[in-house]
Amino acid sequence: MLRERLELKIFTGSAHLELARRICAFVGVPLGDATVTSFPDGETYVKFNENIRGRDVFIVQPTSPPTNQNLMELLIMVDAARRASAARITAVLPFFGYARQDRKDQPRVPITAKLVANLLTAAGVSRVLTMDLHAQQVAGFFDIPVDHLYAAPVLIRHIRERHLKDLIVVSPDVGGLKMASAYSQALGCGLAIVAKRRKSPTETEAMNVIGDVEGKSVLLVDDLTETAGTLTSAARILTERGAGKIIAAVSHAVLSDLAIERLKGSQLSELITTNSVPVRSTEGFPLTELCIAELLGEGIKRIHCDESVSSLFKISENEKV
């Protein structure tokens, strides 16, 4: 039961209108009326076409490509909502762009994830609801509450329904081991790791496999794929080690032209992902898109009603991500 003392309003920018509509359908509220457009010179124009004074406002906007455009839209919408006297403004970012720039790993480079956190807070965001951050420490860059959801319950439920035989979960790199371990425990199967070396921002080289994958169905899990270099390189070496069917499951499929080309020529048999960002057509390569509207919608309802969000991490009664 949504509380009545603070009316819930959900708005969206232009990044992912379909997801926002599905979230509103689940929550049971109409999508808020806002004008989000651009002037001829490219500047963003925002106007809320309904009263939001004293309302609990949620703005759905993944900062996926075009990243800078979508981020700027979000900041301007937040500023407009603050100046319209919204009681609370929650930025709902199904995909948090710039999360990979989370540390100073070279001389004279920025920590852009921290900059984005500062921009959102300065614009007037009261709290953030996001999903599968590339690095969990990004949540600590904010001085406001951050509710960090996971796509794992949605993805694992789908994998279970497939009843794959002799399944093993594989992390395509050492950094994804914790996520892969959670998947293997939830699915009750083995775990393996692919050791890789990054040759450039768009190219990786798989070097070795730690674990026995011969004759097994492989589930490659990762939080994000953009160029598909890590996934396709891992699939290549897994095939060389005797793996059978290889399926990849990623939370965010921010697919570039290069990624689609690589997927079509890879040993992967399917890519499973969510609609955290608008998913591009892979032109004949099998892609399964799972909806996270209920997950985000439930998060919105619980934040609105000041209820716990942590129970959304449960995969079953005895398992957590």
Catalytic residue positions, numbered = 196
Say how far residue 135 (Cα) sits from the centre of its chain.
Answer: 12
H/E stretch holding 171 reads strand 167-171
Do residues 170 and 219 touch, judged by C-beta distance below 8 A? yes
Q: Residue type at 149?
A: L
Burial of 188: CB neighbours in 10 Å, binned 0-12, 13-18, 19+? exposed
- Say which residues have a Cβ less than 8 Å from residue 133's Cβ, sequence separation at least 6: 96, 99, 139, 148, 223
Residue 262 phi, psi (nearest 5): -70, -40
Beta strand extents in the chain (DSSP E only): 8-12, 34-38, 44-48, 56-60, 88-93, 127-131, 146-149, 167-171, 190-200, 203-210, 217-225, 246-253, 270-274, 287-290, 314-316, 319-320
